[in-house]
């Protein structure tokens, strides 16, 4: 830790660490920064308890909040579960859900959550397995073979789930060992109208008034899991100026990429993604407007698409702002100056910046073809078909030689998703497939051989329906049959399997080009830059987010918005009722209108802090220095949209949380959820 503290002081002196920036590894927490700025030095026991209480969802975060497996997360993180256990007769997204007895808790099909048990540095082993030159495609194969082997050995020894996490662009490799729970059940969820009050217009804004929470429960052997590491609930809730600590799984950031990489995202990747999402959103809205049932089944996909669009649109606008590009340019220049002054760092970097720029220039004309490999966005049946088809080819290979998603370490989770009894709406699947076909036609051209083969001279809508409605993959029993019979999966006359079989040679070819020609160059050059940064600053510079567990922190405080107006650090229930208009998306559920007089209207509802977050942090518990829950992360404000690339520019960037005391008030006064309240330590009391 002495080296970490030394380099952190150097960074602060150079002005490289801004505000409360940092998505910190749990085994490299900046103790000196916390101590000097916030007068708090977390003990190893504190960090271990927080880590073991934190829960990983696919694409989100959560935490245990009772010794009996009770999980606390966002409504939007759990929305797929809520949607999947709903039906035409029981619309829990619209009406909410509460299991007032254990027997009424509903199992979430295909949902798996994980808890990080152990972190091991395996850098030397991974690097030691690579004998080919960095420019040789064999180097990437050797590296992946070593990672697959390490993960399998870990799984064989411990069970659960194991994943080698690439940090600092390959300067470090850490093995993360997880305990996993595959029986997760819904306990409580509010109505979507209050969980996502304000809808898309208010998304990524502040002030906010959202009860974006859900409670689930992990089970083992048919009984509630024993979870001795859990977070206790604060009796006081958040307070102005208080230090807030956030434990979660931020998905990805690009704070240490080069200018050439940033320009590629700005000019190629993001515009293409926004084009696709825009078409999907329009189609989903049209589909949902046809009936209440259509709206119900499309809602989860629509939320995901709208959320992704707003994120990418805000990030693209940030990349197009002169100040952000200038900030990145100056940062890169300062780093290269520091490298030039250090012989070891200078040798590490070499021509890495130039090689990255050349690789992107070479890849740019071929990048659209990678759409064949990335697949049909939001089409579950396509994803299932591809996995079933490729599993039949990949599984017979030695573990070390498989594509990463089919390694022995990845298979249990994949098979759980493939065989889960997940509700499917073929009409909606066909619509998502149609939008993908239209994107392929637009980006690759109508005369591209694969596009011509897919469309067969017909419209995208017509052929999409043909593939979907000649498939049986909506039936979990059929997926289980094909999973157990590889030969049948490869030869199936199923519509979606036929589509995948048609596309797969070209999709694999472009992936092979990416994996062997483009990615090794970027990985090697980025790793050299990262190693130089490591030489200069050590682990006092946090790595970019990787979907793995990180610690963030910041003060609870308001800010001034773009108009220079002060924004209070919290909102309350009184503000909620003032904001409600009775018209969507500002319409309150009936029970909230009926129970208004029972609520303490001045209770804090949502609040903001300077904690550093990104997508994937949704559902992260927010705790005080005693390790008590004072809230839960559910969003950031628009001023923070550039955080993917740059953080802490004093532009009013804030993380948005639901306040713990506001949650208790809602559970008690609106929902009467006494069973959940008692489990959180709030037994029924006189008002």
Does the pLDDT value for residue 186 go beyond 60? yes
Which pLDDT does position 687 carry in this prediction? 44
How many CA atoms lie less than 13 Å away from 640 in the CB half-sphere?
25
Distance CA 559, CA 658 (A): 18
Integer Cα distance of 367 and 513 in angstroms? 11
Which residue, 655, 612, 553, 636, is CA-closest to 37?
A: 553
pLDDT, tens digit, 9 for 90 and up, residues 59-85: 999 999 999 999 999 999 999 999 999
Cis peptide before 207, with omega less than 30 degrees from 0? yes
- Residue 607: φ, ψ to 5°: -150, 170
Could you report the per-residue pLDDT of 218-269, keeping only the tens digit for each? 999 999 999 999 999 999 999 999 999 999 999 999 999 999 999 999 999 9
pLDDT tens digits for range 9-44: 333 333 344 568 999 999 999 998 899 999 999 999
Q: How far is CA 432 from CA 19, 265, 436, 501, 660, in A?
A: 42, 24, 6, 19, 38
Task: Taking each helix axis as running N to C, give the angle between helix 426-444 and helix 270-288, from 0 to 180 degrees, rounded to the nearest 10.
Answer: 150
Measured between alpha carbons, how far is residue 280 from residues 271, 274, 505 in Å? 14, 10, 26
Distance between CA atoms of residues 184 and 93, nearest Å: 18
User: Residue 685: its pLDDT value, please?
Assistant: 54
Burial of 513 (0-12, 13-18, 19+ CB in 10 A): middle
CA 648 to chain centre: 21
Cα 520 to its chain centre, rounded Å, is 25
C-beta separation of 653 from 289 below 8 A: no
H helices of 569-641, in order, are: 573-579, 590-594
Question: What band does 4 get if pLDDT is binned at 50, 70 and 90?
Answer: very low
Q: Please give the pLDDT value at position 17.
A: 46
CA 629/CA 621 separation, integer angstroms: 7
Give the Cα separation of 345 and 529 in Å (integer): 8
Q: What is the 3-state secondary structure (H, E, C) of 116-137?
A: EEEEEECHHHHHHCCCCCCCCH
pLDDT digits (tens, 9 = 90+) for 94-137: 999 999 999 999 999 999 999 999 999 999 999 999 999 877 88
Which tokens in the block code for residue 332? 């890169």
The DSSP symbol for 233 reads B
629 to each of 237, 669, 683, how far by Cα in Å? 8, 20, 17
Q: State the CB neighbour count (10 A cutoff) for residue 596.
A: 17
Q: What are 295-307's pLDDT values in tens digits?
A: 999 999 999 999 9
What are the start-end ranges of the E strands in 506-589?
Answer: 550-555, 559-560, 566-567, 570-572
- Where do runs of H (alpha helix) occur along 15-133? 31-38, 44-53, 79-85, 92-95, 123-128
- Cα–Cα separations (whole angstroms), residue 395 to 401, 408, 479, 487: 10, 9, 16, 12
Q: What is the pLDDT of residue 9?
A: 38
- HSE, side-chain direction, 13 A CA sphere, residue 78: 37
562, pLDDT greater than 90: no
Q: Beta partners for 604?
A: 572
Q: Does the structure show a pLDDT above 70 at 335?
A: yes
pLDDT at 615: 95
Q: Under CATH, which architecture does the 2-112+183-252+543-679 domain have?
A: Beta Barrel (2.40)
Mean pLDDT computed over every residue of the chain? 94
What sign for the dihedral angle of Cα 455, 456, 461, 464? negative
Give residue for tokens 């999980």.
71
Task: Give the integer Cα–Cα distance in Å for 478 and 553.
Answer: 47
Tell me how far the alpha carbon of residue 27 is from its chain's centroid. 21
* Residues 6 or more apart in contact with residue 7 via CB below 8 angstroms: 536, 537, 538, 539, 540, 541
Domain boundaries, the chain: 2-112+183-252+543-679
Q: How far apart are CA 172 and CA 73, in angstroms?
A: 30
Instruction: Classify 443 as helix, strand or coil.
Output: helix
| CA distance linking residue 79 with residue 62, whole number of Å | 13
The confidence score (pLDDT) of residue 13 equals 33
Which residues are bridge partners to 287 per DSSP?
A: none
Per-residue pLDDT at 123: 95
Count of residues for the chain?
A: 687
- Of 471, 455, 575, 568, which is closest to residue 198 (Cα–Cα)? 575
> Alpha-carbon distance 516 to 140, whole Å?
7
**pLDDT tens digits, 510-560:** 999 999 899 989 989 999 999 899 889 877 789 999 999 999 999 999 999
């Amino acid at each position: 830790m002495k080296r970490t503290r030394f380099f952190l002081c150097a960074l602060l002196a150079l002005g490289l660490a801004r505000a409360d920036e940092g998505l910190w590894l749990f085994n490299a927490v900046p103790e000196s920064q916390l101590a000097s700025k916030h007068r708090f030095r977390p003990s190893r026991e504190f960090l271990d308890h927080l880590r073991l209480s934190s829960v990983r969802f696919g694409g989100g975060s959560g935490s245990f909040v009772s010794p009996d497996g009770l999980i606390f997360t966002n409504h939007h993180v759990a929305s797929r579960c809520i949607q999947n256990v709903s039906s035409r007769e029981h619309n829990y997204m619209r009406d909410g859900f509460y299991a007032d007895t254990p027997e009424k808790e509903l199992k979430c099909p295909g949902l798996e959550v994980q808890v990080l048990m152990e972190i091991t540095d395996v850098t030397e082993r991974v690097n030691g397995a690579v004998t080919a030159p960095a420019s040789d495609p064999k180097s990437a194969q050797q590296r992946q073979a070593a990672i697959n082997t390490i993960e399998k050995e870990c799984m064989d020894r411990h069970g659960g789930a194991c994943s080698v996490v690439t940090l600092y662009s390959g300067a470090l490799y850490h093995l993360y060992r997880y305990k996993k729970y595959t029986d997760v059940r819904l306990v409580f969820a509010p109505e979507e109208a209050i969980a996502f009050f304000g809808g898309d217009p208010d998304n990524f804004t502040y002030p906010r008034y959202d009860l974006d929470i859900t409670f689930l429960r992990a089970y083992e052997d048919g009984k509630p899991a024993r979870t001795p590491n859990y977070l206790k609930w604060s009796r006081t809730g958040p307070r102005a100026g208080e230090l807030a600590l956030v434990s979660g799984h931020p998905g990805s950031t690009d704070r240490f990429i080069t200018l050439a990489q940033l320009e590629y995202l700005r000019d190629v990747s993001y515009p293409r993604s926004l084009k696709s999402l825009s078409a999907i959103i329009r189609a989903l809205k049209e589909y949902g407007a046809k009936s209440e049932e259509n709206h119900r089944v499309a809602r989860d996909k629509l939320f995901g698409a709208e959320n992704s669009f707003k994120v990418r649109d805000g990030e693209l606008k940030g990349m197009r702002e002169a100040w952000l590009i200038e900030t990145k340019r100056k940062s890169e220049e300062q780093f290269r100056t520091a490298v030039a002054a250090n012989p070891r760092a200078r040798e590490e970097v070499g021509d890495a910046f130039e090689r990255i720029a050349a690789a992107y220039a070479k890849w740019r004309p071929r990048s659209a073809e990678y759409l064949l490999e990335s697949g049909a966005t939001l089409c579950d049946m396509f994803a299932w078909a591809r996995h079933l088809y490729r599993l039949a080819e990949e599984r017979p290979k030695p573990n070390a030689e498989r594509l990463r998603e089919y390694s022995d370490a990845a298979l249990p989770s994949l098979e759980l998703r493939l065989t889960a009894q997940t509700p499917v709406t073929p009409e909606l699947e066909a619509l998502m497939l149609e939008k993908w076909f239209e994107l392929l036609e637009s980006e690759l051209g109508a005369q591209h051989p694969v596009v011509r083969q897919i469309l067969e001279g017909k419209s995208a809508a017509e052929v999409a329906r043909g593939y979907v409605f000649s498939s049986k993959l909506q039936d979990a029993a059929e997926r289980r049959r094909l999973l157990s019979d590889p030969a049948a999966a490869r030869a199936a006359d199923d519509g979606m399997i036929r589509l995948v079989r048609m596309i797969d040679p070209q999709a694999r070819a472009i992936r092979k080009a990416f994996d062997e020609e483009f990615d090794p160059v970027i990985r090697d050059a980025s790793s050299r830059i990262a190693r130089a940064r490591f030489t200069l600053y050590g682990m006092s510079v946090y790595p970019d987010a990787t979907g793995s567990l990180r610690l963030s922190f910041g003060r609870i405080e308001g800010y001034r918005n773009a108009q220079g107006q002060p924004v209070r650090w919290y909102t309350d229930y009184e503000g909620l009722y003032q904001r409600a208009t009775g018209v969507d998306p500002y319409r309150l559920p009936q029970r909230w209108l009926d129970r208004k007089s029972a609520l303490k209207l001045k209770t804090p509802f949502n609040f903001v802090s300077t904690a550093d977050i990104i997508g994937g942090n949704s559902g992260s518990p927010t705790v005080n220095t005693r390790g008590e829950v004072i809230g839960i992360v559910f969003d950031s404000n628009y001023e923070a949209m550039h955080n993917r690339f740059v953080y802490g520019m004093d532009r009013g960037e804030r993380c948005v949380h639901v306040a713990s005391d506001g949650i208790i008030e809602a559970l008690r006064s609106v929902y009467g959820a006494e069973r959940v309240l008692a489990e959180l330590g709030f037994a029924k009391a006189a008002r």
